[in-house]
Amino acid sequence: MLTNTFIDKPDPPTEADLAAVLGPTKALWDQLQVDLATEIKVDVQEWKSYSRKAGWALRLRHGKRAIVYLSPSRGGFTAAFALGDKAVQAARESGLPARVLKIIDEARRYAEGTAVRIDVKQPKDVEVVKRLAAIKLEH
């Protein structure tokens, strides 16, 4: 599991900060945001830090509904979802890779939903995040 690089920082990261931390995966970070805006109409992006210990995450929303949180790390980033029961079931039936289904099955459940975290380091990970985002929006 990747660790958020912007823990204990008072301000959200700048584009230069992101480029320095993400390195080559900055292209995946940017492309994911473009794809989610185009494909499922994610229309709001805002930096959030719920505590200094948690660090900064980019919350992507469709209207008022949070779809995914992106947390930057050295050489990659984590996409975090809170999936409701219907979305979890749909994800299990969607043909996602076995490694992703294992993450879902082992994820912790909270009142907000099942906390699914996907580390993104390569293009195939972006595709998984896009599929989960579409499932979350649909359910």
CATH classification at residue 36: 3.90.1150
25, 121 Cβ separation under 8 angstroms:
yes
| Cβ-contact 3, 80 below 8 angstroms | no
| pLDDT over 90 (residue 50) | no
Domain count, the chain: 1
Q: Residue 4 falls within a domain, yes or no?
A: no
Residue 25 lies in a domain: yes
Range(s) of the domain holding residue 62: 15-138
What pLDDT, on the 0 to 100 scale, is given for residue 100?
98
- Position 2 confidence tier, pLDDT thresholds 50, 70, 90: confident
Flag whether 7 is in a domain: no
Query: How many CB atoms neighbour CB 94 within 10 A?
Result: 14
Task: Tell me whether residue 90 is in a domain.
Answer: yes
The dihedral sign for the CA sequence 98, 69, 40, 119: negative
Residue 3, in any domain of the structure: no
Domain annotation covers residue 83: yes
